[in-house]
Amino acid sequence: MSEQLTLYLHKIQLALAEANAPYKAYQVDLRNKPEWFTSKVNPVGQVPVLTYGGPNVNPDDPSSLSAKIAESNVILEFLADLYPDSGLLPKDPVLRAKVRFFIDATIKHIEGTYLAFVQGNESFDNVLKAIEFIQELLEEGSDFAVGEHYTIADACISPHLARLKIVTETGIGNFPAGMGYKLGEELEGLKFAKFRKYAQRMLGRPGFKQIHDEEAVIGYFKRRFTNRIQ
Amino acid sequence: MSEQLTLYFHKISPFSQKVELALIEANAPYSAYQVDFRNKPEWFTSKVNRVGQVPAVTYGGPNVNPDDPSPLSTKIAESNVILEFLADLYPDSGLLPKDPVLRAKVRFFINAITRHVEGTYFDFLRGNESLDNALKAIEFIQELLEEGSDFAIGNHYTIADACISPHLARLKIVTETDMGNFPVGTGYKLGEELKGPKFAKFKKYAERILDRPSFKKIYDEEIIIGYFKRIFTDRVQ
């Protein structure tokens, strides 16, 4: 699978691991998509995609009887529905709204502004504001983004935090030279202590270490980000 | 055991209309307060929503006047987050089905609205996206609709219907008046395409969903037309 997309896959794998949910995984070669994948599983050809239910078949022989669910954030909510006692979403409506607001902020500020910065299309200042917005939502000293348990909010942001760490440590990205390191320096400062500590805790979780292949992501970044703006 | 719920909205905002629709369809009691954007009250930004936008809700806490929000209430912003919150508060309203697979379909539909309507189609209105891509975006949405169904998903009004309805109403205005920052005539052209057999399913769904009493209750076409006249003043050539 393209490295770019493992980010979205990892959100789901993290949630599955934290919920102790059984699943089978099948890696789709996106440069050589099998016909059965596009016609039977996901007409848009996207990954990640989940099939649910239907008879037990080999992953490369999907049944028409299973439900097909695409979009990483839709899948995260689906897992929270399937495993209502896993803590992936709290039971309380107000806390659930906080989890969803955190995910919405991640989509806007990380999958939006921060990714645009890495692609060379957004200012350094705006990235700092974006990360600050996320930080404001974190509870001081809490192990998790929202409440007392690992939720889909943590699963949603963690893969991004790992890639942010790589960008600040290697300077790889399409932003002007040095900006990656500069971002790292800002995030080391007092102002971002809460964010940094939260990120360290997320990346230190056994579930995360199991799925993250730092070398593979670095290799992908080197191939992908070759067009620095001046 | 009913907690107070106050919605801060504005008639021109499709995002706050999503929430109004869900509240009415769920028969949920609520107070409503229209925020004056040309004279935004300081208390709105400092006490209700830091980002200063509608929709925003306060939930719980003492019964106060909407213009005097209590620090004891919970504040929730972002239209799609509020829609899910209402579905949680009213689990038997049908706003979300009970079945996880159907719930996923509702959420996939909402995700598609964010991407294709609030993304591509909005860019088209701004003059930053082609008519072709706007049509592809609408086609993607149409593919998700069940043939002949009154609702986007399943047998009941859900937050998917609430989410798209305000946008469908404004799409109707754009195709009938050609208002927008796209080149002259492109709005009319979009309207013609949508009248064709290819988009029959979409058109029928839009007509049915805009015909609902809940929608007519909250929608004022003249206000939206007046607003569009003010904002669409920069046509691309």
Disruptive mutation site among B83, B107, B110, B113 for chain A (greatest number of A CBs within 10 Å): B107
Helix boundaries (H) for chain A: 3-18, 35-36, 72-82, 93-105, 115-118, 124-137, 152-170, 179-188, 193-204, 206-211, 214-224
pLDDT tens track, chain A, 230 positions: 455 667 888 999 999 998 888 887 777 766 677 777 777 766 666 778 888 888 887 777 777 778 889 999 999 999 999 999 999 999 999 999 999 999 999 999 999 999 999 999 999 999 999 999 999 999 888 899 999 999 999 999 999 999 999 999 999 999 999 999 999 999 999 999 999 999 999 999 999 998 899 998 999 899 989 888 87
Alpha carbon distances (Å) from B66 to B9, B59, B70, B77, B132 = 11, 11, 9, 16, 44
Interface confidence, given as ipTM, is 0.95
Token digits of residue B48: 């209700």
Name which of B88, B103, B111 is nearest A71 (Cβ-Cβ).
B111
Contact list in A for residue B84 (CB cut-off 8 A) is 96-97, 100
- Residue positions counted in chain B: 237
CA–CA gap between residue B177 and residue B185 (Å, rounded): 9
CB contact B90 to A (< 8 Å): no
CA–CA gap between residue A22 and residue A19 (Å, rounded): 9
Whether the model clears a pTM of 0.90, i.e. scores above it, the answer is yes
How confident is the model over B173-197, as pLDDT tens digits? 999 999 999 999 999 999 999 999 9
Closest CA to B25 of B165, B205, B214, B206: B214
Look at A78 and B85 and tell me if their CB atoms are within 8 Å.
no
pLDDT tens track, chain B, 237 positions: 589 999 999 999 999 999 999 999 999 999 999 999 889 999 999 999 999 999 999 999 999 999 999 999 999 999 999 999 999 999 999 999 999 999 999 999 999 999 999 999 999 999 999 999 999 999 999 999 988 889 999 999 999 999 999 999 999 999 999 999 999 999 999 999 999 999 999 999 999 999 999 999 999 999 999 999 999 988 887
Look at A97 and B82 and tell me if their CB atoms are within 8 Å.
yes
How confident is the model over B80-101, as pLDDT tens digits? 999 999 999 999 999 999 999 9
At residue A138, φ and ψ (nearest 5 deg) are: -75, 140
Chain B CA closest to residue A103: B81
